[in-house]
Amino acid sequence: MLVKNRLLIPGPSQVPPEVNAAMARPIIGHRSGDFAKFHEELAKKLKQIFQTENEVVILTGSGTAAMEASVSSVVNPGDEVLCIVTGKFGERFAELAKVYGANVTVVEAKWGETYDLDTVTKLIQEKKFKLVCATHNETSTGVTNNIPALGDLCRKYDALLLVDAVSSMGGMDIKTDEWNVDLMVSGSQKAFMLPPGLSFVSISPKALEVINNNDSTNYYLSLKKAKKSQDKWSTPYTPNVSLFYALDEACNMILKEGLDTVFMRHKLLAEACQEAVKALGLNLLAKEEISSYTVTAFTGNVDTEAVRSLLKKKFGFAVAGGQDSLKGKIIRIGHMGYMDFADLFGVIAALELCLKEVGYPVELGKGVGAAMDVFYRGGRD
């Protein structure tokens, strides 16, 4: 029987045909005037999605490259850095800061929960941090952390704020400037609907001053070099020109749909997915009020790995499992980027059939019905 492959993991995500087609354009020289003109126009589009007046540099490298570029361009050995860790990707910031010799203070939340604002406030009041690192959307758990509250604290206590929005930018309403984020990082293969391979960092004037006066030991990942080149609409090294074309097309699609519509679509998809999960008697890992709009993680009294493997085999749906301590315990459905309601109804229907096959009690249609109800009513309430 025909089974189509459908990529619903929380990144890499589905790539629209228009974006794939854009990558087939002939390569041009990255030092040419034509590339500079194209780069300048592209940067304007990216700034709209980041909701920032700051420059957004584009790096050829995955999301972690932008995380490492940011940490290594700001941190000197012995600097005080606060890392807010709510899952796998928060841990990555702490690891990076340690690699570059920072004195790292970690505030940790249980996976599936968000950070405790009182604890963070106390720490920032007690100690002068050069840099605070946080994850906006923790892909490993499906939790969205409160970034505006951290922005207020960092403004008040004069610390730089570095935020990982790898799995949310382009799908969720992220107000980089209004939230006072100095370095906002994202990547190509999630809500931006691109293949993996590009990452982005917006740099505030305050961050740029620190970066330009730093004795960083980085080279390829130097934000100082990246920003200096970008001032001439160039890049320090050869960029992935094809992915730049793809990014341009993806930005056009996002801006044509309209940012508000894109954000609303992601919110509705998330609500529909959450309601479906609940209707099937499964448990959301994160509480609704901190749940991500781009990924839903859930667990239940069922062999999640058996369900995942059936979903792939019988219906072609690739969904993710858990990472580290959550390995084998949860299922994560990505609903980001090039994703519509038919995709969601499809994966929930397939999930119900796979649950039934492994012996989990399911009244067929209950989950899909709950998702349809959210779609029909235009929201959960």
- The residues of the shown chain that bind ligand PMP, judged by CB under 6 A, are 11, 62-64, 89, 135, 137, 139, 164, 166-167, 187, 196
Q: Minimum distance between the CB of residue 295 and ligand PMP, rounded to whole angstroms?
A: 8
Closer CB to ligand PMP, residue 13 or residue 52?
Answer: 13
Torsion (CA) 355, 357, 361, 364 in degrees, nearest 10: 80
Q: Minimum distance between the CB of residue 133 and ligand PMP, rounded to whole angstroms?
A: 11
The Cα-based distances of 167 to 193, 199, 336, 355 in angstroms read 11, 11, 8, 27
Q: What are phi and psi of 276, to 5 degrees?
A: -65, -45
Residues 234, 221 contacting (CB under 8 angstroms): no
What's the rounded Cα separation, in Å, for the pair 347 and 269? 12
Residues 46, 98 contacting (CB under 8 angstroms): no
Q: Minimum distance between the CB of residue 131 and ligand PMP, rounded to whole angstroms?
A: 17
Closer CB to ligand PMP, residue 166 or residue 362?
Answer: 166
What's the rounded Cα separation, in Å, for the pair 227 and 202? 10
Q: Minimum distance between the CB of residue 370 and ligand PMP, rounded to whole angstroms?
A: 27
R_g over Cα of the chain: 21
DSSP character string of 195-262:
-SSEEEEEE-HHHHHHHHT-----STT-HHHHHHHHTTT--SS---HHHHHHHHHHHHHHHHH-HHHH
Closer CB to ligand PMP, residue 51 or residue 70?
Answer: 70
Closer CB to ligand PMP, residue 64 or residue 234?
Answer: 64
Q: Minimum distance between the CB of residue 162 and ligand PMP, rounded to whole angstroms?
A: 12
Chain residue at closest Cβ approach to ligand PMP: 63
SS3 131: strand
Sort 359 into a burial class: Cβ within 10 Å, 0-12 / 13-18 / 19+. exposed
Closer CB to ligand PMP, residue 166 or residue 269?
Answer: 166
Q: Minimum distance between the CB of residue 58 and ligand PMP, rounded to whole angstroms?
A: 14
Q: Minimum distance between the CB of residue 215 and ligand PMP, rounded to whole angstroms?
A: 26
Q: Minimum distance between the CB of residue 182 and ligand PMP, rounded to whole angstroms?
A: 17
Q: Which residues pair with 18 in a beta bridge?
A: none
SS3 87: coil
Q: Minimum distance between the CB of residue 356 and ligand PMP, rounded to whole angstroms?
A: 31
Q: Minimum distance between the CB of residue 119 and ligand PMP, rounded to whole angstroms?
A: 22
Residues 60, 247 contacting (CB under 8 angstroms): no
The Cα-based distances of 337 to 14, 76, 170, 334 in angstroms read 7, 36, 7, 9
Sign of CA dihedral 88, 93, 99, 102: negative
Closer CB to ligand PMP, residue 64 or residue 309?
Answer: 64
What's the rounded Cα separation, in Å, for the pair 55 and 43? 8
Closer CB to ligand PMP, residue 11 or residue 321?
Answer: 11
